[in-house]
């Protein structure tokens, strides 16, 4: 008897490419069919077959408060009763702009958009306009959404599926994207020498999340900041994943780095579609209608998404939020590490705050190349072992897992036990 999820996936395959609306949902890297979900509450997900899972995907990061938080839901219901969108100015978007500028001192002005992809595309256009240069530099394995210029040596689903740089990106455009390994200051220096005064922007994930979690080496971000400043290159820190996640003020607060532009998304929408880009007034005032660089959006800053974001940030500002996320995630990572060691399974666990990845490799993971030393077949077995035991991890080795404020000590204990049993089942003499 097929499960309801399996039946739905067969139907989905007929009408959606690959059966999904975003590639990594398809479970291709871990085997088996995806589960279809009907509801989420707190740390728990429920699928169409009535099975429950402790969720560490959290919609790929946005749900830092967990699913269906009572206060966020109440804010949304209240906003909903007043209409979903006007395509005109509202008080709430001013408030969200103020909250973002207050939390990120590098952001003097901010523009709201509908996704992280939109934010990075617009930030690149602005950097190119402001510098009059075309080339950009990105890091191997960093994912900045699916914009043409950024789908070169990209992470996330592109890395998971082992895809080459995407067909359909004009070669002339891809050639303007220079890539170097993350955490390699010498490679960045070399790129700045070869493309002297030609780089419009450097864009990076300050903590990489899209090859799995990879923290920056001490001094790496500082070196990139110094080189970009020296050559008048716009430094774009893509905090779509890390913003309000690794700290309220993002990775730039944690590592004390001041970018020229920042991109945000995920957490700032509280589970609804939002992105944002912002930075120095002198740069942002080049955006239309303040300046000539065009970027617009029918639903940008829409009242529902902005309300969910504002309420999420308000709850995150309450004392102890980030301490709790840190403690829970540290405890989980330590527990998983001990159970892996006890079972004789080599793993490397990288973690920054409430972002983490269990890499199935004995090597330190510091960039895309070392992430790729992971045994992805073994990761697939680990993923399925957890799923069978009611724990939902990201269905790819090359993705970060997340903790929410809704997770409990009991969730952590159950997850460590599920991981331990799975590790034991993986061991082969």
Residue 338-377 contact track with ligand PLP, rule CB under 6 A, x = bound: ----------------------------------------
Cα-flanking dihedrals φ and ψ of residue 210, to 5°? -95, 10
Residue 135-154 contact track with ligand PLP, rule CB under 6 A, x = bound: --------xxx---------
272/386 with CB nearer ligand PLP: 272
Q: Could you say whether residue 265 binds ligand PLP (CB under 6 A)?
A: yes
178/240 with CB nearer ligand PLP: 240
The residues in 64-103 that bind ligand PLP, with binding defined as CB under 6 A, are none
Q: Which stretch binds ligand PLP (CB under 6 A): 63-71, 112-120, 182-190, 246-254?
A: 112-120
Decide if 382 contacts 358 (C-beta within 8 A).
yes
55/238 with CB nearer ligand PLP: 238
115/300 with CB nearer ligand PLP: 115
**Which member of 184, 205, 367, 399 binds ligand PLP (CB under 6 A)?**
205
CB of residue 294 to ligand PLP, shortest distance in Å: 20
**Which member of 130, 137, 224, 240 binds ligand PLP (CB under 6 A)?**
240
Distance between CA atoms of residues 414 and 416, nearest Å: 6
Instruction: Say which of 55, 184, 238, 260 is annotated catalytic.
Output: 238
40/250 with CB nearer ligand PLP: 250
CB of residue 54 to ligand PLP, shortest distance in Å: 22
The residues near 335 (Cβ < 8 Å, ≥ 6 apart) are 412, 413, 415, 416, 419
43/117 with CB nearer ligand PLP: 117
Instruction: Say which of 53, 56, 143, 255 is annotated catalytic.
Output: 143
Instruction: Say which of 255, 266, 368, 375 is annotated catalytic.
Output: 266
Q: How far is CA 427 from the centre of its chain?
A: 31
Decide if 45 contacts 55 (C-beta within 8 A).
yes
**Which member of 200, 241, 328, 340 binds ligand PLP (CB under 6 A)?**
241
- Select from 20, 23, 269, 19 the least CA-distant residue to 156: 23
Judged by CB under 6 A, the number of residues near ligand PLP is 15
**Residue 238 is a catalytic residue:** yes
**Which member of 93, 238, 399, 411 binds ligand PLP (CB under 6 A)?**
238
Q: Could you say whether residue 210 binds ligand PLP (CB under 6 A)?
A: yes
Residue 113-132 contact track with ligand PLP, rule CB under 6 A, x = bound: --xxx--x------------
By residue count, the chain amounts to 429
Q: Could you say whether residue 250 binds ligand PLP (CB under 6 A)?
A: no
Decide if 188 contacts 427 (C-beta within 8 A).
no
**Residue 277 is a catalytic residue:** no
Q: Could you say whether residue 209 binds ligand PLP (CB under 6 A)?
A: yes
67/245 with CB nearer ligand PLP: 245
5/300 with CB nearer ligand PLP: 300
Residue 157-196 contact track with ligand PLP, rule CB under 6 A, x = bound: ----------------------------------------
Residue whose CB is nearest to ligand PLP in the complex, by number: 116
Strand order in the sheet with 391-392: 37-41, 44-47, 52-55, 391-392
**Residue 266 is a catalytic residue:** yes
* Binding region for ligand PLP (CB under 6 A): 115-117, 120, 143-145, 205, 209-210, 238, 240-241, 265, 275
Active site residues: 143, 238, 266
């Amino acid at each position: 008897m097929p499960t309801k999820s399996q039946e739905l996936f067969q139907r989905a395959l007929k009408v959606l490419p690959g059966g999904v609306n975003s590639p990594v949902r398809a479970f291709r890297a871990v085997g088996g069919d995806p589960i279809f979900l009907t509801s989420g509450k707190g740390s728990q997900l429920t699928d169409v077959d009535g099975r429950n899972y402790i969720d560490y995907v959290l919609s790929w990061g946005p749900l830092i408060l967990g699913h269906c938080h009572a206060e966020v839901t109440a804010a949304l219901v209240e906003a909903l009763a007043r209409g979903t969108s006007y395509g005109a100015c509202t008080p709430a978007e001013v408030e969200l702009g103020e909250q973002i500028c207050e939390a990120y001192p590098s952001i003097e002005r901010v523009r709201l958009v509908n996704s992280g992809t939109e934010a990075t595309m617009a930030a690149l256009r602005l950097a190119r306009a402001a510098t009059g240069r075309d080339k950009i530099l990105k890091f191997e394995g960093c994912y900045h959404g699916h914009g043409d210029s950024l789908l070169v040596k990209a992470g996330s689903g592109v890395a998971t599926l082992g895809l080459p740089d995407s067909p359909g990106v004009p070669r002339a455009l891809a050639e303007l994207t220079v890539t170097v390994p993350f955490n390699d200051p010498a490679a960045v220096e070399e790129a700045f020498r070869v493309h002297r005064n030609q780089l419009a922007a450097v864009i990076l994930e300050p903590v990489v999340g899209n090859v799995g979690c990879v923290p920056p080496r001490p001094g790496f971000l500082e070196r990139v900041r110094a080189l970009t400043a020296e050559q008048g290159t716009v430094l774009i820190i893509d905090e779509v994943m890390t913003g309000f996640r690794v700290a309220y003020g993002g990775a730039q607060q944690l590592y004390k780095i001041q970018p020229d532009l920042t991109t945000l998304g995920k957490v700032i929408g509280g589970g609804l579609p939002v992105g944002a880009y912002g930075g120095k007034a002198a740069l942002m005032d080049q955006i239309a209608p303040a300046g000539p660089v065009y970027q617009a959006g029918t639903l940008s800053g829409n009242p529902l998404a902005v309300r969910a974001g504002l309420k999420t940030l308000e709850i995150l500002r309450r004392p102890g939020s980030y301490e709790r996320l840190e403690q829970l995630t540290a405890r989980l990572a330590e527990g998983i590490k001990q159970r892996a060691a006890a079972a004789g399974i080599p793993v490397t666990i990288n973690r920054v705050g409430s972002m983490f990845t269990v890499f199935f490799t004995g090597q330190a993971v510091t960039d895309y190349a070392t992430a790729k030393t992971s045994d992805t077949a073994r990761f697939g077995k680990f993923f399925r072992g957890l799923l069978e035991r009611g724990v939902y991890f990201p269905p790819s080795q090359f993705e970060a897992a997340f903790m929410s404020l809704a997770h409990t000590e009991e969730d952590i204990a159950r997850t460590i036990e599920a991981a331990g049993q799975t590790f034991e089942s993986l061991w082969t003499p």
